[in-house]
Amino acid sequence: MDKIVNSDPLVSVLMPVYNTERHIREAIDSILNQTYINFEFVIINDGSKDESASVINSYKDSRIKLITNSDNKGLIYSLNYGISQCTGKYIVRMDADDISLPERIFEQVKFMEDNPEVGVCGCDYIQFSKTSEKRYNALNDHDEILSFMIFNSSVIHPSLIIRGSILQLLNPVFNAGYNHSEDYELWSKLIFKCKFSAVNKVLFKYRIHEGQVTHQHAGIQLASANNVRKELLDKLGFVYTEKEFMLLCQPAGHLLFTNKQDIAELELFFKKLISQNTVSKIIDTETFNRVISYKWYAACGYTTLGIWALIKYTNSSLKQYDPQSYLKLLAKCMVRYVKKSE
């Protein structure tokens, strides 16, 4: 079936590049080989010191629109400037170490055209490294995405297509005050301006490697992300203490719960959030309660408290019981308890 028609809207694929010579050819090829062809490919070479520029310049495709920074100005600058140079109805994000599957742009554009209320759309994806590969389903329900966003960014930035008109409402689009969590901060603003959703087809491959921000700047990223979490809670009208807030942030920083009092207080705080949302109904109550229940399950599995945490989870009204989850939680509790004891 011919999927290219003259009425297809122009799409801007936006890809910043900095010292990614090892993977960039695979990334560029994955965009140029899309079944959807009505796009401009805006590449920002942010002062790369390796052979990234040579790889980019080896392509002669007229859809490539190369912007070269004289020196390394950073991701936030490059994204903001790149967005200002995009002319498409939609902006498709791409990173220079990832892979877009051939149907990605077609499927995401079709979804956006069919759902004009959606401003940001992800897709199912494969997370891969040198040694592993795992499939993930993207969240496609707006209230579920918002509920999870209180804890962490609940969308995968380079898998997204964004309606250009939504970004025009912001100046700047990416805020330099949220270094290494600038995308999370952007989603926390856009979630109140438009609907978020996803195409539930695998259209993207997300590469994991040691050079990523999560590995290199974890401390700065956590501090910036905590600011986003606090602002989200405030926008949603939740009331909380500083201790309750830090308990909510703890798992996001990969910090294990090590004492019973913290878990007990977290349970009370989660119940408090459910109670407040039941009154305000800002988020669909059934969806929000389900997400909080899942986060309670995750927190109880992220402790060094062994069987005590399992019992605490089981005896709580927050639990969502099913045999498979119970066995997984038992395994997590015991493994982490044994490691602590070694």
Work out the pLDDT band at 336, boundaries 50, 70, 90: confident
In whole angstroms, what is the distance from residue 169 CA to residue 103 CA?
Answer: 29
In a domain, 228, yes or no: no
Instruction: Please give the pLDDT value at position 335.
Output: 82
Contact 173, 83 (CB under 8 A): yes
State whether 169 and 267 are in the same domain: no
Domain that holds residue 274: 236-341
User: Do 206 and 98 share a structural domain?
Assistant: yes
Q: Is residue 299 part of a domain?
A: yes
CB atoms within 10 A of CB 18: 20
Pair (250, 148) in one structural domain: no
- Asked if residue 172 has a cis previous peptide bond (ω within 30° of 0), the answer is yes
- For residue 322, is pLDDT > 80? no
Mean pLDDT along residues 202-218: 78
Q: Indicate if 128 and 273 belong to the same structural domain.
A: no
Output the CA torsion sign for 277, 279, 281, 282: negative
Record the pTM.
Answer: 0.93
**Residue 60: left (phi > 0), alpha (psi -120 to 50), or beta?**
alpha
The tens digit of pLDDT for each residue in 263-279 reads: 999 999 999 999 999 99
pLDDT (tens digit per residue) in 254-311: 789 999 999 999 999 999 999 999 999 999 999 999 999 999 999 998 999 989 999 9
| Residue 227 in domain | no
Cα separation, 76 vs 80, in Å, equals: 6
Q: What are the strands, taking DSSP E only, across 26-108? A: 39-46, 64-69, 90-93, 99-100
Per the structure, how many domains does the chain have?
Answer: 2
- What b-and-e string marks burial along 71-99, b requiring 16 or more CB atoms within 10 Å of the CB? eeeebbbbbbbbbeebebbbbbbbbbbbb
Non-local (6+) Cβ contacts of 192 within 8 A are: 235
The rounded distance, in Å, linking the Cα atoms of 184 and 186 is 5
Give dist(CA 161, CA 155) in Å, integer: 11
Q: Which of 181, 215, 249 is the last residue of a domain?
A: 215
DSSP tag of 250: T
- Closest residue by Cα to residue 123 from 153, 151, 161: 161
Residue 279 to residues 230, 273, 283, 287, 289: CA-CA distances in angstroms? Answer: 20, 10, 10, 14, 13
- The pLDDT tens digits for 128-158 are 999 999 999 999 999 999 999 999 999 999 9
Shared domain for 48 and 168, answered yes or no, is: yes
326 by Cβ neighbours in 10 Å (0-12 / 13-18 / 19+) ranks as middle
pLDDT digits (tens, 9 = 90+) for 75-120: 999 999 999 999 999 999 999 999 999 999 999 999 999 999 999 9
* 199 and 257 belong to one structural domain: no
Q: Are residues 293 and 174 in the same domain?
A: no
Chain CA centroid to CA 272, Å: 26
